[in-house]
Amino acid sequence: MIKIAPSILSADFANLGRDIRAVEAAGADYLHVDVMDGRFVPNISIGLPVVESIRKVTDLPLDVHLMIEEPVRYAEAFCAAGADIVTAHVEADTEENIRRCLEIVRGRGRRAGVVLKPRTPARAVLPFLELCSLVLVMTVEPGFGGQKFMADMMPKLREVRGYIDERNPGCELEVDGGIGPDTCRIAAENGANVLVAGSAVYGAADIPGRIRTLRG
Ligand code: DX5
Ligand code: ZN
């Protein structure tokens, strides 16, 4: 069963509670929260106070995608703010510090994961895989919603799926970027079981219908 994680980056931030309730009522599985620091990616989005507020208005698992330098500095704080899943980019710090970040999240009883940017090879997950409940493969350059899906990431997605099946079969495989009615199928066929979708969900006139379509 494919899970759908709407990204609130495409929601109306002035009506965030309303927009979160809309995807919860529409059967979303996770709520994807994009945290950007203006350094790891060239954009600034939302941070801890917003996650704390979101936690109070939804029971959906919060899937917090940290696009920040040295994510270990904030692992504890995002868990305390109510994150259920915390993912950190492997490119954002040393291997040792990324492992520490994952261990902090796991120590809090939350699910930890790593993220790969498009130019990062599949094998970069290997030092972390046994600590991961989820691996996220980016299908756009992180930083902005509404970009075009990079179909050339599919071989890498399959390679990561192979590593997961071999070494940590319970781990989920998520894709993020450019997922819509035309691309959801190819992502699922290549091994993803969680699809993040921002503009495709929040830009839809019929959100429940769009979530059903994406689930396939
Ligand atoms: C991009 C973010 C995504 C973004 C996806 O850096 O990580 O989660 O919201 O947006 P869409 O689905 O519009 O490509
Ligand atoms: Zn994201």
How remote is the CA of residue 65 from the centroid of ligand 2, in Å?
Answer: 5
3-state SS, one letter per residue, for 176-195: ECCCCCCCHHHHHHCCCCEE
Confidence at residue 133, expressed as pLDDT on a 0 to 100 scale: 99
| Known catalytic residue at 165 | no
Q: Is 42 in the pocket of ligand 1 (CB under 6 A)?
A: no
Kindly state the tokens that stand for 161.
């799926």
Handedness of CA 26, 60, 169, 145 (dihedral sign): positive
Q: What is the pLDDT along the chain (216 residues), one digit of tens a residue?
A: 999 999 999 999 999 999 999 999 999 999 999 999 999 999 999 999 999 999 999 999 999 999 999 999 999 999 999 999 999 999 999 999 999 999 999 999 999 999 999 999 999 999 999 999 999 999 999 999 999 999 999 999 999 999 999 999 999 999 999 999 999 999 999 999 999 999 999 999 999 999 999 999
Model confidence, pTM: 0.99
How remote is the CA of residue 177 from the centroid of ligand 2, in Å?
Answer: 7
User: Considering only CA atoms, which residue is closest to atom 4 of ligand 1?
Assistant: 145
Ligand 1 atom, smallest distance to 149 CA = 14
Pairing of strands 134-138, 111-116: parallel
Ligand 1 atom, smallest distance to 199 CA = 13
Ligand 1 atom, smallest distance to 143 CA = 6
Q: Is 117 in the pocket of ligand 1 (CB under 6 A)?
A: no
| Known catalytic residue at 176 | yes
Cβ partners under 8 Å of residue 184, min gap 6 = 2, 195, 197, 213, 214, 215, 216
Whole-number Cα distances in Å, 81 to 60, 92, 169: 14, 21, 29
How remote is the CA of residue 75 from the centroid of ligand 1, in Å?
Answer: 21
Q: Is 5 in the pocket of ligand 1 (CB under 6 A)?
A: no
How remote is the CA of residue 33 from the centroid of ligand 1, in Å?
Answer: 10
Confidence at residue 91, expressed as pLDDT on a 0 to 100 scale: 99
